[in-house]
């Protein structure tokens, strides 16, 4: 077995590998170059973004490291610039209560208060994360949900200024297929044929993209089998193949 060794990147705690190994199940699926890359992205997230705790709560190395690892995973095949719209990451101990109106279905605004596990505010606003949910999700990918992947996926979607379930695609010619596949799958989810996607993805196309992202990373084999076209467009966008990682890991053990 090869041991993963490298000096801790600046900004990460000495024992960051140990923290990630213990808390982030996904770590086991990554190979050494991916782990190294993950560490670099985590370092950039911790150094370059503002991290805040909700009132009465305090950030720890564990919190920053686990949230940064999950957020870094999302852009492992992209690069750090994809988080240019993330200014701040605000961690709450548990559900976030917001009194702000939030967008509802079909362009309406709904009045608070709301209890949320996370929130990705429009454009340059902060990403809010409930730590208890983030921690549980990182340990249990088989639940198919992940608040960190979900909220940071919204941030990618917002890069073109509209939360419409379509982040900036790498090639304009990919647009028609992306729209065809996502529209079809969004409608299937609304009709109750969305498995393994969570029903919440039927709320609107923006939520569809965030929910599909959660399944793509956490239930890749199920998604690939049930919805191969959706898997493929997400694989091409994220430039990652989580299903191949699961197979590689299974073959090695
Ligand atoms: Zn959402």
* SS3 at position 97: strand
- Residues whose CB is under 5 A from ligand 1 (ion)? 207, 210
CB contact set of 155 (below 8 Å; sequence gap of 6+): 83, 85, 86, 120, 127
Q: For residue 103, report the distance from its CA to the centre of ligand 1, in Å.
A: 10
Q: For residue 252, report the distance from its CA to the centre of ligand 1, in Å.
A: 35
Q: For residue 203, report the distance from its CA to the centre of ligand 1, in Å.
A: 9
Residue found under tokens 């994809």: 82
Summarize pLDDT for 86-112 with one digit per residue, the tens.
Answer: 999 999 998 876 676 766 655 667 777
CB contact set of 85 (below 8 Å; sequence gap of 6+): 123, 124, 155, 158, 159
| Per-residue model confidence (pLDDT) at position 119 | 73
Question: Helices 61-74 and 131-139: crossing angle, nearest 10°?
Answer: 60
Q: For residue 152, report the distance from its CA to the centre of ligand 1, in Å.
A: 9
Q: For residue 150, report the distance from its CA to the centre of ligand 1, in Å.
A: 6
pTM: 0.90
* DSSP secondary structure, 104-132, as one string: -GGG-EE-S-EEESEEE-STTPPEEEEHH
**C-alpha to C-alpha distance for 209 and 123, rounded to whole angstroms:** 17
Summarize pLDDT for 4-63 with one digit per residue, the tens.
Answer: 545 556 789 999 999 999 999 999 999 999 999 999 999 999 999 999 998 889 999 999
């Amino acid at each position: 077995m090869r041991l993963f060794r490298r000096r801790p990147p600046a900004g990460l705690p000495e024992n960051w590998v140990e923290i990630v190994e213990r808390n982030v199940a996904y770590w086991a699926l990554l190979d050494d170059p991916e782990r190294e890359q993950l560490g670099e992205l985590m370092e950039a997230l911790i150094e370059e973004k503002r991290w805040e705790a909700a009132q009465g709560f305090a950030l720890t190395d564990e919190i920053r490291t686990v949230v940064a690892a999950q957020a870094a995973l999302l852009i492992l095949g992209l690069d750090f610039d994809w988080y240019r719209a993330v200014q701040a990451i605000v961690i709450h101990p548990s559900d976030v209560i917001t009194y702000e109106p939030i967008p509802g279905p079909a362009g309406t605004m709904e009045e608070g208060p709301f209890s949320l596990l996370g929130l990705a505010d429009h454009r340059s606003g902060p990403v809010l994360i409930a730590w208890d949910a983030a921690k549980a999700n990182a340990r249990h990918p088989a639940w198919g949900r992940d608040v960190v992947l979900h909220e940071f996926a919204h941030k990618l979607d917002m890069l073109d200024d509209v939360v419409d379930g379509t982040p900036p695609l790498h090639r304009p010619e990919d647009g028609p297929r992306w729209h065809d596949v996502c529209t079809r799958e969004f409608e299937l989810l609304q009709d109750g044929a969305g498995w393994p996607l969570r029903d919440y993805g039927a709320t609107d196309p923006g939520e569809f993209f965030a929910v599909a992202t959660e399944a793509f990373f956490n239930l890749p084999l199920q998604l690939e089998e049930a919805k191969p076209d959706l898997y493929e467009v997400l694989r091409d966008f994220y430039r990652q193949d989580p299903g191949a990682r699961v197979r590689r890991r299974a073959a090695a053990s």
